[in-house]
């Protein structure tokens, strides 16, 4: 899976799960604020990642992730190291 | 304090319709809400009969965070409560300014528990159950979700009392308002309608096997009854002090005159006569009424051989010659269990408001011992102003409520 395909897939499930406008998702936008995430929502982020990419992460893994680009990089890194 | 207590809002989401108007029409015409769930036939149920209810789509009503913690019965309860609040003329501003409470009857959330357990076994990871699972899984799911969604600041808990849960919730709300501890309480009952919640009950051979004609399967008091049909949905009844209702000019659906209760103290599932009779005596005493003051009784009768007969005998013992009309709306809805005590108050209020008594459909011939009871075999066109609603449950819990037109 190419990086572009991964990003496309991530954006798809974020729009679907967190019900945000696709246009609001840009690489430099703030992930938490844009998706209106509270502490419970990070649990659902874990569920979505497992469901879409087949690997398990922990909610605490998201500590350093601020922007969507950070999030893409994190997923891409995980996919490539599988 | 000894406040008079009235009902200022009702709402319903049931197998008879998804709002008050639809349900009123179904009650009047004696429409059945029973069908077949093909999945139950495949997975080993004895009976695939069930109440049939549409899955709500709450996307247009609630944001995601408010939806993910709602199990099936929570979704039904949200919609019935939305309708009841509208009927009561209670808006967001009033909910924020006053300490409105909530007490709902609910005694399971099996589907959510089982799905979470399946996920953990399959994935070996508890996080993958998702953020909503815990809030869907607890018995208090309805009150914890609705109190959050509607921003309630009064009393907040769930009553788990088997098939009398919905009735006790109204009884307790009534007592709180009567004592002046609350001005308004959102009461009700909710019941999931899915195979996960019904398998072990089906295993007791309690459900009707009349699969060739689902609409005829639930037949309380009829000689040929062969068991109940599981069903569900949600009903909401808003209870308020008369003073508060009159002050704001609210429509009053009825006044709660009494709440009676008892426990059989015998078998866990086999009902007796003494327990229900005691509950009936207590509610009449509380209401300071005599049997002849009651014009209609909405029976608990679920279509089981022993339960219906014993309830009828208890009614005969207490009501003797006064012969109020009697019908079980479970003939149409099936057994709405945790919801039934609330929904049957809503059904009876709709009848009282619209001047009819809904029929006990499928009742062709009652047992010989109870043939003198004044059953509503067909829809009865009659104005009436006082009714009694019975609800009984496993463990021998009994609840009776009397309501009078205001």
Compare B256 and A61 and report the one with higher pLDDT: B256
Q: Please give the Cα distance from B387 to B299 (Å, whole number).
A: 11
What average pLDDT does the structure give for chain B? Answer: 97
Nearest Cα of chain B lies from the Cα of A7 at a distance, in angstroms, of: 22
- Given a cut of 80, whether residue A82 has pLDDT beyond it is no
Q: Please give the Cα distance from B380 to B394 (Å, whole number).
A: 32
Active-site pick, B168, B187, B295, B300: B300
CB B51 within 8 A of CB B208: no
Q: B380: pLDDT confidence band, cut at 50, 70 and 90?
A: very high
Nearest CA in chain A to B63: A19
- Given a cut of 90, whether residue B93 has pLDDT beyond it is yes
Which residues neighbour A41 within 8 Å (Cβ) at sequence distance 6 or greater? A18, A35, B65, B131
- Is B168 known to be catalytic? no
- Given a cut of 90, whether residue B1 has pLDDT beyond it is no
Contacts with B, A 5-44, CB within 8 Å: 17-19, 38, 40-41, 43-44
- Given a cut of 80, whether residue B105 has pLDDT beyond it is yes
Chain B residues in contact with A56 (beta carbon < 8 A): 123, 125, 127-128
What domains lie within chain A, and their CATH numbers? 3-80 (1.10.1200.10)
Cβ distance B127 to A58 less than 8 Å, yes or no, reads: yes
- Is B267 known to be catalytic? no
Q: Report yes or no for ipTM above 0.90.
A: yes
- pLDDT at position B361 is 98
The packing angle between helices A3-18 and A68-80, to 10°, is 120
Candidates B369, B234, B230; CA nearest to B308 is: B369
Average pLDDT of the segment spanning B135-162: 98
Percent of chain B with pLDDT over 70: 100
pTM for this model (two decimals): 0.97
- pLDDT at position B187 is 98
Q: A60: pLDDT confidence band, cut at 50, 70 and 90?
A: confident
What domains lie within chain B, and their CATH numbers? 5-247 (3.40.47.10), 258-404 (3.40.47.10)
Q: Please give the Cα distance from B4 to B365 (Å, whole number).
A: 41
């Amino acid at each position: 899976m190419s990086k572009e395909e991964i990003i496309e897939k991530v954006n798809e499930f974020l729009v679907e799960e967190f019900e945000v406008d696709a246009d609001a998702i840009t690489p430099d936008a703030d992930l938490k604020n844009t998706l209106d995430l509270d502490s419970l929502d990070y649990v659902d982020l874990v569920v979505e990642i497992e469901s879409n990419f087949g690997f398990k992460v922990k909610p605490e893994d998201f500590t350093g992730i601020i922007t969507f680009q950070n999030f893409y990089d994190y997923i891409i890194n995980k996919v490539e190291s599988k | 304090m000894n406040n008079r207590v009235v009902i200022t809002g009702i709402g319903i989401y049931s197998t008879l319709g998804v709002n008050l108007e639809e349900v009123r029409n179904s009650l009047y015409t004696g429409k059945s809400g029973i069908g077949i769930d093909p999945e139950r036939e495949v997975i080993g149920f004895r009976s695939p009969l069930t109440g049939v209810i549409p899955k709500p789509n709450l996307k247009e009503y609630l944001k995601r965070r408010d939806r993910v913690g709602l199990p099936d019965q929570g979704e039904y309860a949200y919609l019935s409560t939305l309708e009841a609040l509208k009927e009561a003329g209670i808006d967001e501003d009033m909910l924020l300014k006053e300490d409105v409470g909530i007490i709902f009857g609910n005694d399971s959330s099996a589907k959510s528990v089982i799905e979470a357990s399946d996920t953990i076994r399959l994935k070996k990871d508890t996080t993958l159950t998702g953020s909503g699972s815990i809030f869907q899984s607890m018995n208090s799911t309805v009150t914890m979700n609705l109190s959050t969604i509607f921003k309630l600041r009064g009393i907040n808990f769930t009553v788990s009392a088997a098939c009398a849960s919905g009735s006790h919730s109204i009884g307790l709300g009534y007592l709180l308002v009567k004592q002046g501890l609350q001005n308004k309480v959102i009461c009700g009952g909710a019941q999931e309608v899915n195979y996960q919640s019904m398998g072990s009950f089906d295993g007791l051979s309690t459900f009707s096997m009349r699969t060739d004609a689902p609409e005829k399967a639930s037949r309380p008091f009829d000689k040929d009854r062969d068991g109940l049909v599981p069903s569900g949905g949600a009903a909401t009844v808003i209870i308020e002090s008369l003073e508060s209702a009159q002050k704001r000019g609210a429509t009053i659906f009825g006044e709660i005159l009494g709440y009676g209760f008892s426990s059989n103290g015998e078998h866990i599932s086999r009902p007796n006569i003494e327990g229900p009779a005691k509950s009936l005596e207590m509610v009449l005493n509380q209401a300071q009424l005599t049997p002849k003051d009651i014009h209609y009784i909405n029976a608990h009768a679920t279509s089981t051989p022993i339960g219906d007969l014993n309830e009828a005998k208890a009614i005969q013992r207490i009501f003797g010659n006064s012969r109020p009309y009697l019908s079980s709306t479970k003939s149409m809805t099936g057994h709405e269990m945790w919801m039934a005590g609330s929904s049957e108050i809503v059904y009876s209020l709709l009848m009282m408001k619209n001047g009819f008594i809904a029929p006990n459909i499928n009742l062709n011939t009652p047992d010989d011992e109870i043939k003198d009871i004044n059953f509503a075999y067909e829809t009865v066109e009659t104005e009436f102003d006082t009714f009694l609603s019975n609800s009984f449950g496993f463990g021998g819990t009994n609840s009776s409520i009397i309501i009078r037109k205001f």
